[in-house]
Chain A
Amino acid sequence: MDEEMRFHLDKLTERYEREGISPIRARRLALIEFGGLERNREHAREVVRLAPLDRLLRDVRYGARVLTRTPLTTAAVVLTLAIGIGGVTALFGILDRFVFRRLDVPHPDALAAVVGTRAGDVSESMSYPAFRSLEGVTAVGRVAGYAFRTAAIDAGADSAIVQLTSDDWFETVGVHPVVGRVWGAAPADQETALISDAMRRRRFGSASNAVGTSIELAGHRFTVIGVMNPGFSGISLDFPVDVWVPIAAEPQFDGVPEFADPWRNWVRVITRLGDAQTTASGDAAANAVFASYRRAYMPGSDSTERLSLVRAAQPMTRDRSSVERGLFLAITLAVLVLLIACANVANLQLARSSGRRREIAVRMALGAGRSSLIRQLLTENAMLALFGGALGLWIAVLASRTLTGVAASQQFGAMIGSLTSSVVNLRTLVFTIALSMASALGFGLLPAIRATGLDPAWTLRQTGFLVRGRSGYLGISSLLVIQLATSVVLLISALMVAATLREVLTLDLGFGPRELLQVAIDWRGVPDSTSRREASAIASAIRAIPGVVTASVSSPAGFGRATTSTEAYHVGDDRSRRRTIEYQVVTPEFFAAMDMRLIRGRPFTPDDRGGVAPVVVVNETAARELFRGQAAIGQRFDLFQTDHRVEVVGVVHDARLHGATSAAPPMLYVPLAQDEGAAFAPELTIEVRTRASTVAAEAIARAVRLLDSRRKLDVRPVDRLITESLVIQRITAWTTGAFGVLGVILAMLGVYGLHAYVVARRTAELGIRLALGASRSRVLWDVWRGGMRPVGIGAVCGLGVAALSATWLRGRIFGLSGVDVRVAAAAVATVIAIAGVACLIPARFAARLDPARALRAD
């Protein structure tokens, strides 16, 4: 364009010269006629509308010049944004994988899990005959059954998660081995297995062919006939499957066949619905079948149990709801931090744009359009945001790696590890860019509009000496108010979460988790009678170890494991009354070992054995709910089956044996010696009460070795099990705490930076006041008060928002009963105190100004 216009100008000059005018004069005339090269150029550009890419490049070049002129400010802005964006991105990465990801199978929407529901409780599995009865019922879809087991591989220390799988499972879910085949109905195919690609790599390295080799699981050989897709590890996040074997192989893992027992719920059922089918019609059909099945096989069973079809397009996990709640809370806080970061940057930009007023005014006077100036400023902001976003992505990767590291040592290591392993994928990348752009608009639009909304003539006349009115800082102050309000909300949330966690940790659990060890024993493949005998022997060996107070045997485990439930039938006034109740089979030492307080009656004694009248101990809740206010002791009812009448001999304190966050359900305790043939005791565990934690796991292992026992033991302190079971709460507390601190730091940087800027702008005015005799303390107070005003307003607004959001928070944090006044007051006091210091520094600077020098300041 330049060259073309110069060419034109030269031609014009030539013509004048031809007319006999001196070259210099000719040039002048030509220039006059042409009318200013620069103006023409700008005009031509605007009219033609430069190709968008050219225009963008021009804006980017200009922006780069502007940003590198103030490298420190630019770095501060980029870092601030990076922290804000990084937090949101890291959480989005997890959210994406956890909440939005669907199973990588064809039409995952058609998948549904068939679960049992009873009085609000959901049971994930049903009995094998019940599962079989659903097969072939068209309205329920194509059902498949499966169950998870863990098994030692090749008799080594390595173990695998094995899925017992019905033949239709692969067809139903829609997955197929990439190499090899699925087993068929032939009897020879019963001892075959499919392995995951991860398992193939673990066992055979990258190149080799696994098909045809054999693998020993729980002491039984299986022939590998296929390898699944890389990345496929089943449909549950809690159980990443390594090996799939036919469901007929169940006895090889459990020791006894469970196919005929209608009372044993162990089969999970998934179904694929046809295009026209709904979960509702499936429900109806399944329940019709289930009702007749129950009449035939389970006379007298609880008729309130129903089957229900639940959509299962996403990978299943037990903890979905609590993780989701924690995640949504954390992401909300992360967005608040980003908001503070954006407000910071907006303030900085506002401050800078008032410093750039002259530049902008000059450009406007030279004919630049307002829209092109706004565009230019927004381009600068977008550049800042993109740099911030890139850095933020890096921070996100680091953060999630740290989180994975933290989680790896915890109970949910596998799940959270799999969630955070790869944050960077296309979706998070797109999300980060979109987020960066949104924040660029968020922090950039207001300053850009304000900066260009000035009359250039007026601005150019300003010398910088004059004090501008308060209105100039109005936008900045209101942003500050938002920032402070947000940081108060963040801090209150963080403190509330921390306080709640502390409350949970110090909760009265109803038993004594300290100095309590839980010994889990690997009973796989061991018959019930053998495990009972061995468990008693191991418990007595442990009792003999010095430092051990007592040891008991229970099933299921004292703390944290799945519970077993049965039905209790009332005897007496109302024969038809029955209800499902959870029970634990225990030895007489159990209550002492667990440190559970007896309220009434007596605990079990060694005399409560087979052959004498069966007894039970109930917990408080059971005593209250089962007997309608009558005294529990002496009550009789039928347990397990109608002819097994038991008498209540004791009532114990409620104990939170399922986990600290769930209240104790009604519980029955049954003496181990009395339940032969009645109750099922699959997971005999030993509880050890010690004196001052002196008993090490090795001592227990040694004692057990002396018994010539080949069982593998896992000794865990129960208080650590409790801490681990609270991993989600603790991660929530850590993240909210981190965001709270981050938010406050960013907000305070905002307060300080802005106030320092305001003082710098007012230097001349303050100089005059000092010169006219204002006392320094007066100036100090004045400047400080000016800075604290938005702080005060912000803190009050934050309190209001926190009070309003308390209801929302309550649903997301376990045990939160509302915003604690003391916590809120502490948060507000902290924010105001730090802001006070942040404002004091510039105020002191102002009070120490030398009037003579200040007056000369621009």
Chain B
Amino acid sequence: MTGQTPRDEVLQGTLQMLVLKAVSLEPMHGWGITERLLQWSEEILRVNQGSLYPTLYQLEQEGMISSRWKVTENNRRARYYSLTLAGRRRLADEQQSWMRASRAVNLILAMK
């Protein structure tokens, strides 16, 4: 198989946060989100499409993100997701608690 990089499954429960983060800068379509996450994670986190779209729809229903059909650079229609105000708050909350938790985990693992 060509082009197959070792990939890590996204940790359970963090996908929502990652998706929120990905769309926090600019509106983005589903494909763009996977690409961006892949790129930001230095090709480590490859999001499974089967869970991406359900997550997107769920976030949209909860009012964390909103979507709009737009035309892409190469003239195709795609649905762009952008962060809502509630989504921005949720992202900040989740980011903070994740940072705290991961710092704690790192501290423990760093013990010699």
Q: Chain A interface (Cβ within 8 Å of chain B)?
A: 1, 3-5, 7-8, 10-12, 16, 19, 21, 33-35, 39-40, 43-44, 47-49
Are A43 and B78 CB-contacts (below 8 A) given A19-B2, A21-B2, A48-B61?
no
Q: In terms of DSSP, what is the predominant structure of the interface of chain B?
A: helix
Bound form: Cα–Cα A16–B2 in Å: 9
Cβ of B76 and Cβ of A7 under 8 Å apart? yes
Q: Quick one: which of B46-73 are within 8 Å of A by CB?
A: 48-50, 53-54, 57-58, 61
Distance (whole angstroms) from the CB of B2 to the closest CB of chain A: 6
Distance (whole angstroms) from the CB of B80 to the closest CB of chain A: 10
Bound form: Cα–Cα A194–B58 in Å: 68
Bound form: Cα–Cα A40–B29 in Å: 17
Cβ of A35 and Cβ of B50 under 8 Å apart? yes
Distance (whole angstroms) from the CB of A3 to the closest CB of chain B: 7
| B36 located at the interface, meaning its Cβ lies under 8 Å from any Cβ of chain A in the complex | no
Bound form: Cα–Cα A47–B77 in Å: 25
| B3 located at the interface, meaning its Cβ lies under 8 Å from any Cβ of chain A in the complex | yes
Distance (whole angstroms) from the CB of A49 to the closest CB of chain B: 7
Cβ of B2 and Cβ of A4 under 8 Å apart? no
* Minimal Cβ-Cβ distance residue in A for B52: A8
Cβ of B49 and Cβ of A40 under 8 Å apart? yes
Choose one: A10, A19, A39, A48; the contact of B58 (CB below 8 Å): A48
Q: Chain B interface (Cβ within 8 Å of chain A)?
A: 2-3, 29-31, 34, 48-50, 53-54, 57-58, 61, 76-79
Instruction: Report A-chain residues with C-beta under 8 Å of the C-beta of B78.
Output: 4, 7
Cβ of B2 and Cβ of A40 under 8 Å apart? no
* Minimal Cβ-Cβ distance residue in B for A5: B53
Distance (whole angstroms) from the CB of A690 to the closest CB of chain B: 86
Q: In terms of DSSP, what is the predominant structure of the interface of chain A?
A: helix
Bound form: Cα–Cα A21–B3 in Å: 10
Instruction: Report A-chain residues with C-beta under 8 Å of the C-beta of B49.
Output: 5, 8, 12, 33-35, 40
Instruction: Report A-chain residues with C-beta under 8 Å of the C-beta of B31.
Output: 7-8, 11-12
Distance (whole angstroms) from the CB of B50 to the closest CB of chain A: 5
A-B contact pairs, 20 of them (CB 8 A): A4-B53, A4-B79, A5-B49, A7-B31, A7-B77, A7-B78, A10-B76, A12-B31, A16-B3, A19-B3, A21-B2, A33-B49, A34-B49, A34-B50, A35-B49, A35-B50, A40-B49, A40-B53, A43-B50, A49-B61
Cβ of B53 and Cβ of A44 under 8 Å apart? yes
Closest 9 CB pairs of A and B: A48-B57, A47-B54, A11-B31, A44-B53, A44-B54, A19-B3, A8-B31, A4-B79, A7-B78
Distance (whole angstroms) from the CB of A28 to the closest CB of chain B: 12
* Minimal Cβ-Cβ distance residue in A for B57: A48
Sample of 17 more A-B contacts, CB < 8 Å, known A7-B77, A43-B54: A1-B53, A5-B53, A7-B29, A7-B30, A8-B31, A8-B34, A10-B76, A11-B31, A12-B49, A19-B2, A21-B2, A34-B49, A35-B49, A39-B50, A40-B53, A48-B54, A48-B61
Instruction: Report B-chain residues with C-beta under 8 Å of the C-beta of A4.
Output: 29-30, 53, 78-79
Choose one: A3, A8, A39; the contact of B77 (CB below 8 Å): A3
Bound form: Cα–Cα A454–B29 in Å: 41
Instruction: Report B-chain residues with C-beta under 8 Å of the C-beta of A8.
Output: 30-31, 34, 49
Bound form: Cα–Cα A1–B78 in Å: 10
Instruction: Report A-chain residues with C-beta under 8 Å of the C-beta of B34.
Output: 8
Distance (whole angstroms) from the CB of A235 to the closest CB of chain B: 56
Bound form: Cα–Cα A480–B47 in Å: 56
* Minimal Cβ-Cβ distance residue in A for B34: A8
Cβ of A47 and Cβ of B58 under 8 Å apart? yes
